Structure 1
Amino acid sequence: MSKFARGVVFGLVCLASAGVAVAAEDPAAKAFGARPAVLDASLSPDGQSIALIQPLADGQANALFVARLDGKSQPKPILTSSGRPDRLTDCGWASNTRLVCQIYMVTKQDAVRMVFTRMVAVNADGTKVQELSATSNNYTLEYRQFGGGVIDWLADDPNGGSVLMSRAFHEEDSTGTLLANQKRGLAVEKVDTNTLQRTIVEQPREAVEVYISDQHGAVRIYGHRPRATSGYMTNKVNYFYRPAGGGPWTPLSSYDGDARTGFEPTDVDRALNAAYGFEWVNGHLAVVRVALDGSGKREVLVSRSDVDVDRLIRVGRDHRVVGASYATDRRQVEFFDPKLKATAVALSKALGQPDIRFVDASQDGTKLLLWAGTDVDPGRYYLFDSAAKRLAEVMPGRPELAGYKLSPVKAITYKAADGTDIPAYLTLPPGSDGKNIPAIVMPHGGPESRDEWGFDWLAQYFANRGFAVLQPNFRGSAGYGEAWFENNGFQSWRTAIGDVNDAGRWLSAQGIAAPGKLAIVGWSYGGYAALQSSVLDPDLFKAVVAIAPVTDLDAFREEARDFTNFKVEDARIGHGPHVKEGSPAQNAEKIKAPVLMFHGDQDVNVGVGESRLMASRLKSAGGKVELVVYPGLDHQLDDSSARARMLDKADGFLRASLGL
């Protein structure tokens, strides 16, 4: 299988021609700021049709396109969302002719911004659009925020059109009626997507947050998160399992997110009668398999002593677990399925791409939808027919970047002040020798996250504009074990921000950053780090760009006050002197560099009030600051026009501030 016939799926590549009109003057800002051409992709059970969610030119709007793979018809938009506030996020096939999609919305309820989701079903030709989420009424005593989700596509019956869905039951006011619902908690229903007939499979259970099926119709595990007396959730989850043939629920494990102890199941393998999941082993996250036959047999399948094994690889409509992956300098995959491993190796060789990801598969497994990309290729979607040994390109992931020379990303390490080696990724401008040029340190968000090798539209844009970009995985990042994570990037901010600042010093010491030409750019926690870096060392960076930043830890804590996760967030931020000392807005007078901030006013991750507070404090301290607020956008600023304007303005700000 070393050679494949190559081709293009006729008609699909034309989807990339849908342009995006933006106001930015810089063509590079338009190209790099454009949303990916494919936001979600799935393959029908028979492997004959593909469904793609693609952005439209208008703001956050997107549409579901469906096309036959025989090339005899053009892709057809069958469902659209306006983006104000509704957005299609993902779609899957309930049958060869019926799809199920999730709609995401951010709206304000009683002065609080809240996320709402709903599930809908639609025929592949765009007819018969129906809401699958259970409806509420005037008697419901709580907001029905989440409309449930598919937990099992019932792959054994690809033509049936039924799915297993989670459903949150809410108590109803019984005044004046005997028909009010008194059930509370999360349940599982079998829903016929054609007739909308609903049958309860698992009765509602209070404080249950997840059900896990074997992907063949049997619910085998549920997770119960205890509540404090105040009603707030804790950071512990108790898991229970049921034998394969049915029977009483039995304790499986207890996972403590604060102590990082216990087994956290995510998938069930019916054939092996076992659960896959994650567990901390010798200070690092590992993939573990636990038998569900009553023996409690536990196998550590993949573990590392340097990085966390943090992802499972699944394939097909039954979401079969076929491997696990982890990121060292680059992401590596260990397959449990020898046949699929051979396929992945052959496809990677054929495409010349080291990064291959399986997106979906037909019911019989003979057709695979996959994505492949590198640091200098933002990726393309392909369809592989194993029977015909034919590999066809579906479409590029970012067609607007055709013709732009992208920069290789190099994994490096630098020394922190205490001698610790900090891993990072360096991107230099195309054709640059990497000496005496303007440079940017770009800390990642989270902080429970990390940067990885590969294409990054933000870093590549600034490299295209002539900047060296260094992305540090500072202590407080996820992926390197619990010792590296410390107490997280908020409570251990001095270590995390110290590592970020040492990244800037390394750029200068290596002669990469020209004197006086060093800036910092960050998004979310990265925006926090960008601001706090100048509190810790006011003379290091000459310009600060912060996108959707946390600016005051107490204010950030209070944003969760009205939600059930408040105690979890409260513990995450902690209490003590570090809260004031680690809040840029409470130390604005220490910041010397000019600051540019961007924020969406519908951000539910970090409220726009954080940036407004920061701007006010900087102005009061006599600092130079500008805040750009995007109406109707949330944390991701998921709008091509807005992103293009942001890139263009940030580039101009950096050039003016650095004297370029």
Structure 2
Amino acid sequence: MISKRLMVRGISILTMQLFMLPVNAAHAEDVDLATRFGALESVLDVSLSPDGSQLAFIDQGANRKRQLYVVGTADAAEPRLILSSDGTSGDNLNWCGWVTNSRLACQTFVRDSVAGNILAATNIIAVDASGDNLRVLSKQRSSRSLYADFRGGSVIDWSSSDNGSLLMTRSYVPEASTGTHIASKAEGLGVDRVDTVNGRARKVESANRDAVYYLSDGRGNVRIMATQGYSSSIGQFEPVVRYSYRAADGGGWKYLAQRDVVTNEGFEPVAVDADANRVLGFQKIDGRQAVVAISLDGAAQTTVVYSHPEVDVDDIIRVGRNGRIVGVSFATDRRVAVMTDPAMAKMTAALSKALGESSIVVIDASADESRYIIRAEADTDPGVYYLFTPAAQELRPLLLSREPLSDLKLSRVKAIDYAAADGTRIPAYLTLPPSRADMKGLPAIVMPHGGPSARDEWGFDWLAQYFAQSGYAVIQPNYRGSAGYGDQWYENNGFQSWRTAVGDVADAGRWLISQGADSGKLSIVGWSYGGYAALQSGVLAPDLFRAIVAIAPVTDLAQLKDETSRDGGGRINAKFIGSGPHIREGSPAQNASLINAPVLMFHGALDQNVNIAQSRTMLRALENSGNRVELVEYSDLAHSLEASEARTDMLRKITAFLPH
């Protein structure tokens, strides 16, 4: 029971927790750091019922087990187990949301290797809050289906679900007509209104073979359709996505805009503003991504909603069941939310102050927005979920994001910059052990991010925090080739401009040494493109790093182009990777003889982002060069190695491998 209140800047914060799951999290002092930090987030997903009286959340447990709980938001409520999925057998829960106050819709996900091909499939299901009446809402295949389509669809509108229905995209596959007159000829992605109680569906938008997604206006009307051409003769998608709109009073589809998915030139619609009859999305202005609105009245009037002179604006903030647009977000040194809705701006500012200047994210809201689920997080706080009732100015803590870390003092993360070899200042984040103010004499790690079309941000990072707790100084550079800083910084991406990107990464290591870190204990650890950068740093600066750790790395660019040519995105990826001398010069596996440091690699055999063959190629190349190398394979995991046991094992092996 709640027994104490703390008044902070007008907001009453309940200082004892209503309930705290998962129950399987360990607090014992003898639990090692690898177990604590290797554990996945305790809570995967949280949602609030339309009337605000119930909470649903997915708890992540051991052996990739995920459990859906429902709990009343009253003081003495006890969570009820509704669904459980076991990732070791394939199927797993991704997210759940409330259709009505008594019914939920969830997405399930499965991945497996079939005849040497890694396949993934999703489904949307519905279940009562009591756990009864489980139904599959995704379009089901018949024995006459001409081919497989593993897209389970998505919920595009929750707003008019008081009758238990949802507006969903669903994929259709044509059927063989031999021996029947009722074979379906529908093909592609369409939109249906699906009754979640009885499973019946009514067509809202006919299936379109080229459709990739739709946007609604939050009021049950489909307003935007995105299409991407596919050449069946070569089995490849076109690199351009085209967008069409429908007028507010209905009618046929009309051309709106298009976007090149390689260069990101053009307009990408994200959210419809029904009140203003316009669509908001992303478009470059002066080489940086901005939020732009285009009217949907036929005039196509374009308005810049928000742009930033230094960084890309990369998020449109929406709240409520109808996806009301309330602001935009971008990252400079820290993530910044600019609320365009005055009431929401006032609310989030007050919450941030009450919670010690934490970053505030609105996760969900009741239908009337009288209650909100808030997540507060910071560099030293992995995240806490709260129930906020504005009328009472009451904030109740509900769930910890990473419960095993609750009793640890975590490290502060400092935004810094350092000089690259050509004098360019490279932004980065520095994390030191909790008790240290400098890095003199410390072992150190350079940790380049993945992508390369990504960037690091200020906040909690489980991997950087683990190394800091283990006594290392950690730097995370936003090297040139990173996204988020505009076209000039991005250059031609981290593969085509690998020499600049990897040079910046190596210079981060040199900066650590200049600040007093132990040059004999300098290592580099990277995941995905970060793993590529770690290996290629060993090629570019063979005497700098004493150990290299690469997790799910790209290692051979020619091989990567060949691998991606086998799926529909090969034509797009070929343009992204490019052609020329950098294909060989920028491939660690082609230059393994130049690497002096010992190498440790990790890879999941079900990785659909970077094929495990990339690590195996690197393993052979390093072995042939006489280098010390080890590859740890996880047979049933994908790119993110989403299993607490595997991550714990990986951290232990890395710790034993790195100089310290």
Indicate whether 1:139 and 2:144 are aligned.
Answer: yes
Q: Residue in 2 aligned with 1:384?
A: 388
2:207 aligns with one of 204, 216, 224:
204
1:487 aligns with one of 462, 473, 492:
492
2:472 aligns with one of 467, 470, 477:
467
AA aligned to 1:149 is: S
8 Å contact from structure 1 (residues 8, 394) kept in 2: no
Aligned positions of 1:488-637 closer than 5 A: 488-511=493-516, 513-637=517-641
- Quick one: distance in 2 between partners of 1:555 and 1:143? 27
Give per-residue Cα distances to partners, 1:113-132, cap 9 Å, x unaligned: 01111111011111111111
Q: Residue in 2 aligned with 1:67?
A: 71
Q: Residue in 1 aligned with 2:220?
A: 217
- Quick one: distance in 1 between partners of 2:39 and 2:385? 17
1:260 aligns with one of 247, 257, 264:
264
AA aligned to 1:34 is: A
Q: Residue in 1 aligned with 2:103?
A: 98
2:254 aligns with one of 234, 250, 254:
250
Structure 1, unmatched stretches of 5+, are none
Indicate whether 1:450 and 2:455 are aligned.
Answer: yes
Residue 350 of structure 1 deviates from its aligned partner by: 1.0
| TM-score, structure 2 normalization | 0.96
Q: Residue in 1 aligned with 2:10?
A: 3
- Quick one: distance in 1 between partners of 2:400 and 2:92? 22
AA aligned to 1:140 is: S
Q: Residue in 1 aligned with 2:198?
A: 195
Residue 160 of structure 1 deviates from its aligned partner by: 1.2
Give per-residue Cα distances to partners, 1:501-528, cap 9 Å, x unaligned: 01111111222x2121110000111111
1:312 aligns with one of 302, 316, 328:
316
Residue 108 of structure 1 deviates from its aligned partner by: 2.1
SS in 2 for 1:226: strand
- Quick one: distance in 1 between partners of 2:578 and 2:171? 31
1:176 aligns with one of 166, 179, 192:
179
SS in 2 for 1:429: coil
Give per-residue Cα distances to partners, 1:342-398, cap 9 Å, x unaligned: 000111111113300000000000101010011011110001011222110011111
Of the structure 1 ranges 381-390 and 167-176, higher mean CA displacement relative to structure 2 is found in 167-176
- Quick one: distance in 2 between partners of 1:7 and 1:492? 52
Residue 630 of structure 1 deviates from its aligned partner by: 1.2
Of the structure 1 ranges 212-221 and 557-566, higher mean CA displacement relative to structure 2 is found in 557-566
Aligned positions of 1:151-166 closer than 5 A: 151-153=156-158, 155-157=159-161, 159-166=162-169
8 Å contact from structure 2 (residues 22, 61) kept in 1: no
Residue 26 of structure 1 deviates from its aligned partner by: 6.5
Post-superposition, which runs of at least 4 consecutive aligned residues in structure 1 deviate over 6 A? none
AA aligned to 2:152 is: G
Give the aligned CA root-mean-square deviation in angstroms.
1.7
Give per-residue Cα distances to partners, 1:385-440, cap 9 Å, x unaligned: 11222110011111111221111111111111111111000001111132121100
8 Å contact from structure 1 (residues 20, 56) kept in 2: no
8 Å contact from structure 1 (residues 107, 116) kept in 2: no
Give per-residue Cα distances to partners, 1:217-245, cap 9 Å, x unaligned: 10011011123462411121111111111
- Quick one: distance in 2 between partners of 1:227 and 1:120? 29
| TM-score, structure 1 normalization | 0.96
Give per-residue Cα distances to partners, 1:274-306, cap 9 Å, x unaligned: 101000000000001111112211111110121
Identity %: 48
Q: Residue in 1 aligned with 2:155?
A: 150
1:185 aligns with one of 188, 194, 205:
188
Of the structure 1 ranges 114-123 and 172-181, higher mean CA displacement relative to structure 2 is found in 172-181
- Quick one: distance in 2 between partners of 1:510 and 1:236? 47
Q: Residue in 1 aligned with 2:19?
A: 12
Residue 11 of structure 1 deviates from its aligned partner by: 4.8
- Quick one: distance in 2 between partners of 1:549 and 1:104? 24
Give per-residue Cα distances to partners, 1:126-150, cap 9 Å, x unaligned: 1111111111122212212111110
Q: Residue in 1 aligned with 2:369?
A: 365
AA aligned to 2:156 is: I
Q: Residue in 2 aligned with 1:346?
A: 350
- Quick one: distance in 2 between partners of 1:62 and 1:124? 17
Residue 9 of structure 1 deviates from its aligned partner by: 7.9
8 Å contact from structure 1 (residues 119, 131) kept in 2: yes
- Quick one: distance in 2 between partners of 1:175 and 1:539? 68
AA aligned to 1:428 is: L
- Quick one: distance in 1 between partners of 2:134 and 2:283? 41
Aligned positions of 1:415-426 closer than 5 A: 415-426=419-430
AA aligned to 1:461 is: Y
Counterparts in 2 of 1:21 and 1:614: CA distance versus 1, 3 Å? farther
8 Å contact from structure 2 (residues 26, 404) kept in 1: no
- Quick one: distance in 1 between partners of 2:217 and 2:136? 26
- Quick one: distance in 1 between partners of 2:499 and 2:150? 37
SS in 2 for 1:357: strand
Residue 6 of structure 1 deviates from its aligned partner by: 1.9
SS in 2 for 1:16: coil
Counterparts in 2 of 1:21 and 1:613: CA distance versus 1, 3 Å? farther
Counterparts in 2 of 1:638 and 1:16: CA distance versus 1, 3 Å? same
8 Å contact from structure 2 (residues 27, 404) kept in 1: no
Give per-residue Cα distances to partners, 1:171-206, cap 9 Å, x unaligned: 222223222222211100000000111001000112
- Quick one: distance in 1 between partners of 2:148 and 2:621? 36
- Quick one: distance in 1 between partners of 2:31 and 2:472? 16
Indicate whether 1:302 and 2:306 are aligned.
Answer: yes
Structure 2, unmatched stretches of 5+, are 1-7
- Quick one: distance in 2 between partners of 1:9 and 1:487? 51
Counterparts in 2 of 1:197 and 1:8: CA distance versus 1, 3 Å? farther
8 Å contact from structure 2 (residues 267, 281) kept in 1: yes
Residue 21 of structure 1 deviates from its aligned partner by: 12
Aligned positions of 1:15-54 closer than 5 A: 15-19=21-25, 27-54=32-59
- Quick one: distance in 2 between partners of 1:98 and 1:398? 28
Counterparts in 2 of 1:224 and 1:371: CA distance versus 1, 3 Å? same
8 Å contact from structure 2 (residues 531, 551) kept in 1: yes
- Quick one: distance in 1 between partners of 2:115 and 2:406? 46
Residue 10 of structure 1 deviates from its aligned partner by: 5.8
